[in-house]
Amino acid sequence: MKVNATNPDPVQVAAARLAPLPSYDALVIPERPYVSPPLQVISSGAWRRASVYCQLNGYASIAVVTDSVIDRHFGAYLEKWFGASLIYIDGPNAKKAGECSRDAYVLKDANLIVGLGGGTNIDQAKMFAKYSHLPWIALPTKPTAAILSGHASVVVNGKRVSEQTPLAKAVFIDQDLFTKLDPLCAKSELGDSLSSLTAVGDAYLSKMDRGTTIQPKLLKEAYHVASDALAITNIQSTDGIRRLYRANLRYAEIMNAYGSSMPCSGSEHAISHALDAMGSSQLHGIQVGFTTLVGTHLHSSCGDLSETFREQGIEPVSPEQVQVSLQKHGFPTRLSELGVSRERFEGALHLAPKVRAADDRRYTVLDRYNVGEVVEKLAKAGLV
Ligand SMILES: [Zn+2]
């Protein structure tokens, strides 16, 4: 937990007293000059502490942004600890920013928004907070970077954008719940946390080919986070889960400091978003694990990129290392295993560079090669 030492808020001080030092020392977020939510509680029973935090702050009318699956699993905890004054908002069914602003009237009786669930629900909570001007707190059910970042990934007019949003007033990570993480969710989170292995390379290609301004220190750190996640051997072990949290929390801090999701979102996310736009129902992180493998193969044929990595003191991870690690965790490493036809994948490769809104478009390795060349390289590597 962090309390702003220079300007202590009495509510935060009281909440800090309620929360003894977390037993997961490795999960305590280190002090960094990054922008992040002022209160972060990581402990057993953290959600119970969230209810005390709400009482102390006078948050008596709470709007919970969640979905029916999460509500079925966790709704009872909320009712037990927060009382009956909960308003439920179906986050995933209000995907567009415009819908969030129209639905803000639902919140007229609320004085706090709670984002409950994974990245999608948390991002929707942020959008509701933005348009209703209400404070929000995060009760994550998995280790998603969305809890700490001041950006939401949303679809506006059919295009994916990274929209700036208010930071959470507080984040309550209940380690009792996290250790019961569904294995498929953990796997998906792991796949997503490998994204910087390609996103960082894409940022450098953008600098080399287009002169884009980058922040090398943060890019290097993001690459290290991904390399560390790649070395996780068992995502269901306590050590594996801790490392996965650390990776996600550090990504959020890095994105906040960078001012955009660029260190963690490049060609791998572009292809994944394109597949989504074409109707894929695959879990986000499973898809991103595979597209990260795709990206590392494409980067391995960019000689100037390897040279730049060496100059920057970045030890490049080979596509073979990514493949071995993905296979170990049971990820698809061939297009057929992902359940996508070659034709469909080619369609996604065409769409990927255009999937982000025009003012948010990112140059990636997909702009260096045409789709035919990309498919040829991937076929040679045995991926498609
Ligand atoms: Zn992602």
Q: How far is the CA of 160 from the centre of ligand 1 (A)?
A: 12
User: Tokens 């308003």 identify what position?
Assistant: 87
φ/ψ of 181, rounded to 5, equals -55, 135
pLDDT of amino acid 321: 97
Q: Count CB-CB contacts under 10 A for residue 330.
A: 12
49 falls within a domain: yes
User: Are residues 145 and 226 both part of a single domain?
Assistant: no
User: Are residues 119 and 174 both part of a single domain?
Assistant: yes
71 falls within a domain: yes
User: Are residues 116 and 137 both part of a single domain?
Assistant: yes
- Residue 329 CA, chain-centre distance (Å), reads 20
Q: How far is the CA of 357 from the centre of ligand 1 (A)?
A: 17
Q: How far is the CA of 192 from the centre of ligand 1 (A)?
A: 5
φ/ψ of 52, rounded to 5, equals -65, -40
Q: How far is the CA of 145 from the centre of ligand 1 (A)?
A: 9
φ/ψ of 347, rounded to 5, equals -60, -40
Q: How far is the CA of 181 from the centre of ligand 1 (A)?
A: 18
User: Are residues 160 and 292 both part of a single domain?
Assistant: no
Count of domains in the chain? 2
pLDDT of amino acid 104: 57
User: Are residues 77 and 166 both part of a single domain?
Assistant: yes
Which residues neighbour 351 within 8 Å (Cβ) at sequence distance 6 or greater?
274, 277, 278
3 falls within a domain: no
φ/ψ of 174, rounded to 5, equals -95, 105
SS3 of the chain: CCCCCCCCCHHHHHHHHHCCCCCCHHHCCCCCCCCCCCEEEEECCHHHHHHHHHHHHCCCCEEEEECHHHHHHHHHHHHHHHCCCEEEEEHHHCCEHHHHHHHHHHHHHCCEEEEEECHHHHHHHHHHHHHHCCCEEEEECCCCHHHCCCEEEEEECCEEEEEECCCCCEEEEEHHHHCCCCHHHHHHHHHHCCCHHHHHHHHHHHHHHHCCCCCHHHHHHHHHHHHHHHCCCCCCCHHHHHHHHHHHHHHHHHHHHHCCCHHHCCHHHHHHHHHHHCCCCCCHHHHHHHHHHHHHHHHHCCHHHHHHHHHCCCCCCCHHHHHHHHHHCCCCCCHHHHCCCHHHHHHHHHHHHHCECHHHCCCCHHHCCCHHHHHHHHHHCCCC
Q: How far is the CA of 5 from the centre of ligand 1 (A)?
A: 33
Q: Which of 210, 360, 368 has the alpha carbon at shortest distance from 301?
A: 368
Asked if residue 181 lies in contact with residue 142, where contact means CB atoms within 8 angstroms, the answer is yes
Single residue among 112, 143, 178 that ends a domain in this structure: 178
84 falls within a domain: yes
pLDDT of amino acid 36: 73
Q: What is the pLDDT along the chain (384 residues), one digit of tens a residue?
A: 333 444 555 445 444 444 333 333 333 334 344 567 878 887 778 888 898 899 899 998 888 888 877 888 887 888 887 775 566 666 554 444 444 454 555 677 788 999 998 888 898 889 889 888 899 999 998 878 888 888 888 777 777 778 889 999 999 988 777 666 678 888 998 999 999 999 999 999 999 999 999 999 999 999 999 999 999 998 877 778 778 877 888 888 888 888 888 999 999 999 999 999 999 989 999 999 999 999 999 999 999 999 999 999 999 999 999 999 999 999 999 999 999 999 999 999 999 999 887 877 899 999 999 999 999 999 999 999
- Domain of 36, CATH number, reads 3.40.50.1970
Strands 159-164 and 151-156 come out as antiparallel
φ/ψ of 81, rounded to 5, equals -95, -25
Q: How far is the CA of 288 from the centre of ligand 1 (A)?
A: 7
- Amino acid of residue 186: A
Q: How far is the CA of 153 from the centre of ligand 1 (A)?
A: 9
Q: How far is the CA of 249 from the centre of ligand 1 (A)?
A: 13
Structure tokens at 332: 């698809």
pLDDT of amino acid 91: 54
Q: How far is the CA of 284 from the centre of ligand 1 (A)?
A: 7
- Domain of 329, CATH number, reads 1.20.1090.10
Q: How far is the CA of 369 from the centre of ligand 1 (A)?
A: 23
Q: How far is the CA of 111 from the centre of ligand 1 (A)?
A: 30
Q: How far is the CA of 126 from the centre of ligand 1 (A)?
A: 16
Q: How far is the CA of 285 from the centre of ligand 1 (A)?
A: 6
**Calculated CA dihedral for residues 171, 175, 176, 178, nearest 10 degrees:** 90
Q: How far is the CA of 269 from the centre of ligand 1 (A)?
A: 6
Domain that holds residue 158: 10-178
> How far, in Å, are 5, 54, 259, 277 from residue 212 at the CA level?
37, 44, 14, 27
User: Are residues 194 and 313 both part of a single domain?
Assistant: yes
User: Are residues 93 and 152 both part of a single domain?
Assistant: yes
User: Are residues 216 and 299 both part of a single domain?
Assistant: yes
Q: How far is the CA of 60 from the centre of ligand 1 (A)?
A: 33
Q: How far is the CA of 264 from the centre of ligand 1 (A)?
A: 8
Q: How far is the CA of 13 from the centre of ligand 1 (A)?
A: 34
Q: How far is the CA of 218 from the centre of ligand 1 (A)?
A: 18
φ/ψ of 241, rounded to 5, equals -65, -40
Asked if residue 383 lies in contact with residue 294, where contact means CB atoms within 8 angstroms, the answer is yes
